[in-house]
Structure 1
Amino acid sequence: MKDSFYRKLRVYAYNIIGIYDDANDIVQDVLEKFIKVEKSGIDNEEAYLIRMVINSSINFKKRMKKFSAYGTWLPEPVQTDSADSMLERELIADYALMVLFEKLNPKERAVFILKEGFDYKHHEIAEVLDITDANSRKLLGRAKLKLGNGVFVGRQMKRHDISPFLKALNSSDINKLESLFSENISFSADGGDSVQVVATNTIGKSNISKLLVIIYKNFLNDKSYKISVMNHQVSIIYKSQERTNSCLLFSFNNEGYIESIYSVVDPFKLTNF
């Protein structure tokens, strides 16, 4: 099997379940099962493997724990400024959309990803998921309704300058922070089962500015950091002694204001950094 096809299978799985190592495990498990399958009745082995991976991912997502003990469950970020290949980098969904995907059930998520991300036709989706064309269209319509304005835009996202935010945060300049935020900005954090974070999503310029200053003073001001791109979105990765402590991901609106901040501090979701 070509490495590029293996990576494509891994991206299919990751976009559906949101955890990179689990996606890799799913692909490995599918390949091990495929070795034992009678191949004489398979016309297209690649299509067969894609179908196996997608359906395994859907089943896995149905069984997944959908909450964190601390904070809000967020997907595992994946670095896309140095992904394994151009193919993988282009096909990984942007982070804000990965978060929105949690509004969908696993089958809606799979249909949306196949149609909007991988340009499948409805009859192809129907074949992969063993449903009718009409059901595929219905699931896509339902998914779009739940996602609102969410679209598969990872490849086209504009790179934004995060340095004004860093400067304001480092100097605890609440007024400057507020000037960088959209009116409806939201903040969410995922501490997993071990790191205490804000329990619920926070909204509003003033609330989030004050919260970020408190977080920085108490947990981040003595950490080194680097600016990166995770799931096509500008991010700040904080480390201490080569251990990653936190990843902040930023989503911007069309006017260039920050509209969402996602804080991943769950150690399990930072191991691949």
Structure 2
Amino acid sequence: MQENYRQLLTYAYNITGSYEDAQDLVQDVLEKYISLDKTDIRNEKNFLIKSTINHAINFKNRHTKKMVYGEWLPEPLSLENAETKLIKEQTARYTLLVLLERLSGKERAVYILKEGFDYSHQEIAEVLDISVENSRKILSRAGKQLQNVQYIPDHINSSIPNETLSQYQRALSEGSISMLEELLLNDIKLSADGGQRVRVIKAVEVGKSATATLLAYVQQQFLNQKPYTFHIFNHQHAICFWRENQIYNCHILDIDHEGMIREIYSIVDPEKLKKLV
């Protein structure tokens, strides 16, 4: 049952973008299953998978609008943490989780089942009670909105992202707008999530010059002299800034093969940060 639990949790997290909500959803499914008449259930695993996915879809559709300061971002996780029960190889990378927010719950499920768990369209149709043709159409529609982002990056262990992260930290510590600009693509996008408690300066910033200027200001006003640590969350490199032995701010970076930063996700929400490490 433990392996089933990990798989169910991974499905739910990929769809909801929230580890805490995923745990609650899976627990709810398992509790209902225990008291269920199982006479007509031929395959326990498939039944639990179907129940979890549909439960997660319904939850996602009910919670599409989240009242937060800034831009709502998925809850990042360390997949190396023993307390994190997700299956690492089937957990979507962080950038993809962000992009999945553009999709409906069913579109997320179809994409995740196909790309993350290698389901056939026949299997997807059976799980979601749709036709095979509809499954193909939904996948095509979802794919067009996801910018061909890989489910899991193939360069996570290369030296390029590590070097970029070190250069990024150095540019921040010096408050150098020019150094930051050298690391950012022209159409760089920065998104900030303060949750329900922390106001952020700006929810979204786009463009190399504007983003570098905002980063330098944030560094000067809030991050100056704060200790930092490097991490990998959801298959992507990150830098965390600390205050009084707690993570104060986390920047998750989307770095391309040339070492340029395409996206920055700045998480200040204390509810998400307290579970990171």
- TM value normalised by structure 2: 0.93
Match of 2:58 in 1: 59
**Offset from partner CA, 1:131-152 (integer Å, 9 cap, x none):** 1111111110110112122231
CA distance in 1, matches of 2:201, 2:248: 16
Matches within 5 A, 1:95-244: 95-154=94-153, 157-159=156-158, 160-161=161-162, 162-244=165-247
| Contact 1:115 1:122 survives alignment (8 Å) | yes
* Residue identity in the other structure for 2:53: I
Give the ranges of 4+ consecutive aligned residues of structure 1 lying more than 3 Å apart after TM superposition.
81-87, 154-159
CA distance in 2, matches of 1:262, 1:48: 36
| Contact 2:125 2:135 survives alignment (8 Å) | yes
**Offset from partner CA, 1:147-182 (integer Å, 9 cap, x none):** 122231246645411111111110112111111111
Percent identity, aligned pairs only?
46
Larger displacement relative to structure 2 (176-185 or 63-72): 63-72
Structure 2 unaligned spans of 5+: none
CA distance in 1, matches of 2:13, 2:247: 21
Larger displacement relative to structure 2 (50-59 or 212-221): 212-221
Give how far 1:224 is off. Answer: 2.0
2:259 pairs with 1:256: yes
Give how far 1:244 is off. Answer: 1.9
Match of 2:75 in 1: 76
* Residue identity in the other structure for 1:100: L
**Offset from partner CA, 1:199-244 (integer Å, 9 cap, x none):** 3321111111111111111111242221110100000112212222
Larger displacement relative to structure 2 (188-197 or 27-36): 188-197
* Residue identity in the other structure for 2:55: S
SS in structure 2 opposite 1:50? helix
Give how far 1:189 is off. Answer: 0.3
Larger displacement relative to structure 2 (24-33 or 64-73): 64-73
Structure 1 unaligned spans of 5+: none
Match of 1:19 in 2: 18
CA distance in 2, matches of 1:232, 1:39: 39
- TM value normalised by structure 1: 0.94
CA distance in 2, matches of 1:5, 1:35: 14
CA distance in 2, matches of 1:54, 1:242: 37
| Contact 2:6 2:85 survives alignment (8 Å) | no
2:249 pairs with 1:246: yes
| Contact 1:90 1:154 survives alignment (8 Å) | no
2:35 pairs with 1:32: no
* Residue identity in the other structure for 1:187: L
Name the Cα RMSD after superposition: 1.7
CA distance in 2, matches of 1:35, 1:27: 12
* Residue identity in the other structure for 2:175: S
2:87 pairs with 1:88: yes
